[in-house]
Amino acid sequence: MFDVLAYLLEEFNDPAACPQREDLSRQLAAAGFENDEISDALDWMDGLNRLNDGAYAGADAGQGFRCFSAEENSRLSSDIRGLIVFLEHNGALSPAQREMLIDRLLAMPDDEISLPTAKLAALMVLWAQGAELPILLGEELLCALHGEPTMQ
């Protein structure tokens, strides 16, 4: 699933440019991805698109401190939780986007949740919303796709 999501992020600058699910499935299959991997990634994206319709819109209006639940603590490593807090505190994620990211991470199988997949999931949340992020934070997240950051 990770490779399919990375491909989508690199292939389509604008999420609106993505073809419908059936056409996109064919394009991904032609690019060499397995059907199960395609289906899992597109299901994950469908979940993101449902959240993008405002499921967490009220989070941006709230004032307070976000504590991770017992499930979030057990399924998301301290590195991933630290990344989420870092991105929010540095203006890359709004509270609603933070909640979307956590939701999408928890939608992944435990064996696929890692720091690189969390970075990719953060990029996917921002990409789905057409959000801008500070260049240095963007470079840090893009290293999940390309390895080491490209800026010197």
- pLDDT on residue 92: 86
- In whole angstroms, what is the distance from residue 141 CA to residue 134 CA? 11
- pLDDT on residue 150: 41
Domain that holds residue 42: 2-146
Whether residue 63 lies inside any domain: the answer is: yes
Whether residue 77 lies inside any domain: the answer is: yes
- pLDDT on residue 152: 35
Whether residue 120 lies inside any domain: the answer is: yes
Whether residue 152 lies inside any domain: the answer is: no
Which positions ≥6 away from 66 have C-beta within 8 Å? Answer: 88, 95, 98
- Residue 121 and residue 104 in contact, taking contact as beta carbons nearer than 8 Å: yes
Whether residue 117 lies inside any domain: the answer is: yes
Whether residue 138 lies inside any domain: the answer is: yes
Going residue by residue through the chain (152 aa), what tens digit of pLDDT does each one get?
888 988 888 888 788 888 999 999 999 999 999 999 999 999 999 999 888 767 787 787 777 788 999 999 999 999 999 999 999 988 888 999 999 999 999 999 999 999 999 998 998 998 888 877 555 455 566 665 555 444 33
∠53-58-61 over CA atoms, to 5°? Answer: 135
- In whole angstroms, what is the distance from residue 43 CA to residue 151 CA? 33
- pLDDT on residue 149: 43
Whether residue 135 lies inside any domain: the answer is: yes
- pLDDT on residue 66: 87
- pLDDT on residue 111: 92
Whether residue 26 lies inside any domain: the answer is: yes
Which one-letter amino acid corresponds to residue 82?
A: G
- pLDDT on residue 56: 82
Q: How many structural domains compose the chain?
A: 1
